[in-house]
Amino acid sequence: MLPVYICEDEEKIRAALKEYLEKQIMMEGYDMEIALCSGHPEEIIKAVKESLGRGIYFLDIELKGEPMDGFGLGQEIRKLDSRGFLIYVTAFKDLAFETFRYHLEALDYIVKGNPGKLKEGIRHCLEIITERMRKEKGEEREFFSVKVMDVVRHIPVDEIVFFETAGRTHRIELHGLNDRLDFIGSMQELEEKLGGRFLRVHRAYLVNVEQIGELNLKDREIRMKNGEKCMFSRGMKGRLLEKM
């Protein structure tokens, strides 16, 4: 899990940044957490020393009354975390080019005068970081995104076992290796979206072919690798045998 550090000297802005970051992390299901939110650069440095891992840093540039500014803090962070993600959040747009002079390799520079643009900038940064981490780990996996209540979940497609109609109109239940989610959707749309990897074996079931363990032809039953069972219609017998 990537730790997120915030260093901002204005308490009101610091609280707003923390609240919005926590909301985005929760809604998008990012593998991140707020590790420290402070107005003092020494506290950030101390926390990073104790963590000794890759992190995400949202830093103000002008830190009033502190022994160093955001650029100095960025330099100290780089000594401890050379691969961390530095994002500068400041009211001084003209200072953006200073990050290059200090050789800080900042991911982005967000101007905090406009709340809407600030939120959009933060959202964009988190998306970029998540995508970079996936690529670095070699995770060129396909993800299925689904909204459950007010939270968007991203489930690896290869971890989905099957989809089942939940007995209520337009309700679908996702059976995964690590998740079981109920959401509003259409089996037909899912079938079209997920392509050949999934097979509509019954009007109530859309199964991941790669997760099929065995077929019970007599009872027209599919046993999935995780032990769960699905029914299949008489007309799907041939298709299933081809896929096995």
pLDDT at residue 99 is higher than 70: no
Residue with tokens 């050949």: 196
pLDDT at residue 96 is higher than 60: no
pLDDT at residue 199 is higher than 80: yes
Closest CA to 162 of 101, 118, 206, 99: 206
pLDDT at residue 222 is higher than 70: yes
CA distances from 127 to 15, 30, 224 (A): 22, 9, 34
Summarised one tens digit per residue, pLDDT across range 114-153 is 888 888 889 999 989 988 887 777 656 678 888 777 677 7
Q: Enter the tokens of residue 234.
A: 């008489």
pLDDT at residue 196 is higher than 90: no
**What phi, psi does 25 have (nearest 5°)?**
-60, -40
Summarised one tens digit per residue, pLDDT across range 11-33 is 999 999 999 999 999 888 888 99
Summarised one tens digit per residue, pLDDT across range 52-75 is 789 999 999 889 899 999 989 999
Mean pLDDT of 188-193: 90
Mean pLDDT of 42-59: 93
Please, are residues 241 and 212 in contact by the beta-carbon 8 Å criterion? no
Q: Enter the tokens of residue 22.
A: 């926590």
Distance CA 73, CA 63 (A): 10
Residue with tokens 């050379």: 82
Give the per-residue pLDDT at 97.
53
**What phi, psi does 147 have (nearest 5°)?**
-95, 120
Distance CA 27, CA 148 (A): 10
Mean pLDDT of 103-117: 80
Whole-number average pLDDT of the chain: 87
Q: Enter the tokens of residue 30.
A: 């990012």
- 67 class by beta-carbon count within 10 Å (0-12 exposed, 13-18 middle, 19+ buried): exposed
Please, are residues 10 and 63 in contact by the beta-carbon 8 Å criterion? no
Buried b (16+ CB within 10 A) or exposed e, 175-194: bbeeeebebebebeebeeeb
More confident residue, 244 or 1: 1
Give the per-residue pLDDT at 98.
58
- Residue 141's SS3 state is coil
Amino acid identity, position 194: L
Closest CA to 186 of 168, 197, 172: 172
Give the per-residue pLDDT at 129.
92
Residue with tokens 């790669």: 210
Count of Cβ atoms closer than 10 Å to residue 61 Cβ: 21
